[in-house]
Amino acid sequence: MLKTTLLHPEILRVVARAGHHAKILIADGNYPASTKRGPHAEVISLNLSPGVVNVVQVLSALLSALPIDHVNTMGIPPDDPYAQHGEPPVWQDYRAALTSAGSTLSLAPILKWDFYKQVESPDHVLTIQTADQSLWANVLLTVGCRTS
């Protein structure tokens, strides 16, 4: 039996092969996962119904299973038609998940178009498509090194 809370066999297969600097995208339900991805990335769909599964649930499971060096959110250009005032409320949930996992990492927004470029990198190994309905809920993780 696994000790991690991450149990999905296909996700485990991909993350087991991922090395330092690999990128894993946890995409919300609006993200164009079929077109905005790296040349080597696999897409795993966990979008059962609206809101099920959501990004924070996937983030928590991944944090239980592998070391993470960076957590990037999709930053909001002020002229974007879906821009909102202030920070998206879901980002507080991500901070809570990081704290709960014992992480001291901070969220680092990358503006939308630069975020897409980061995802399209050859280092991008996995997109986990969720059914999260929150706007600006995408999270890009950079895998770290196991040190013990």
The per-residue pLDDT for range 121-139, each reduced to its tens digit, is 999 999 999 999 999 999 9
Which CATH code is given to the segment(s) 19-143?
3.40.1650.10
pLDDT for residue 139: 98
**How does pLDDT run across 6-33, given as a tens digit for each residue?**
999 999 999 999 999 999 999 999 999 9
> Is the peptide bond between 53 and the residue preceding it cis, with omega within 30 degrees of 0?
yes
Confidence check: pLDDT of 2 > 90: no
Domain locations in the chain as residue ranges:
19-143
Residue 104: exposure state from Cβ atoms within 10 A (0-12, 13-18, ≥19): exposed
This prediction has a pTM of 0.96
